[in-house]
Copies of this chain bind each other. A is one copy, B any other.
């Protein structure tokens, strides 16, 4: 079940290296691995989840919904992202998580989380780091939705996903497989579906970028970055738990 030392993700150079002791601890901390199809729900809003997860492969997203059916996507999850710190043992999840592609998750028992801190303080710190890093992404999304117009928001979303995908090695020559549909984009950016469609068309006309058959093509990254006033987050090797 474990075999974390052979995990594909750990061959990527954006992740920090763990000691053998850490790896074998993580291996026994992990108690399962599950694979979901595209569009499946990992957990629902208000559910009580006794598990924590690491997204091992595939795409997913975290969201909140309203009674009228509208939905805010809070952030997009890519491989290496840790999931579930938003709630506590026996408390309801304030948001749901759903997959965008077929996806595999490593599963950890929430009730044993204190063991991480007790036995491997550095891994405890890593959990805090992962949490702080996710907060930065949500900060950025809030900044987009609060201050940028439709074109700028969309540029920002695409740039940040492009950069994150890039270090994961899933970008080839300016294009990447992109599983969000226009409704997802709309819900992430706080825009209507119709306006999302028109904004996307405008970016294509301006030769900035384009989505076609689940593929995002970036034609002019520099122009995009200027448009969105993009500022890279300080990058470092990320922990992987």
Contact = CB atoms under 8 A, between A and B. Distances in A.
Interface of A: 64, 66-67, 70-72, 74, 85-88, 91-92, 94-95, 113-114, 117-118, 121-122, 124-125, 127-129, 131-132, 134-136, 138-139, 141-143, 145-147, 187, 189-190, 229, 231, 233-234, 236
A139 B64 contact: yes
B86 A143 contact: no
B85 A147 contact: no
11 contacts: A66-B229, A70-B147, A71-B147, A72-B143, A85-B132, A86-B135, A94-B139, A117-B124, A128-B131, A131-B132, A131-B135
A92 B234 CA distance: 7
A139 B67 CA distance: 17
A165 B158 CA distance: 38
Most buried by B among A66, A129, A146, A190: A146
A134 B134 CA distance: 11
B117 A86 contact: no
Given A66-B147, A125-B114, A134 B135 contact: yes
Given A94-B136, A135-B138, A125 B113 contact: yes
A125 B125 contact: no
A141 B114 CA distance: 30
A178 to B, nearest CB: 21
B121 A117 contact: yes
Contacts of A114: 121-122, 125
A131 to B, nearest CB: 4
Given A86-B132, A131-B131, A142-B72, A94 B234 contact: yes
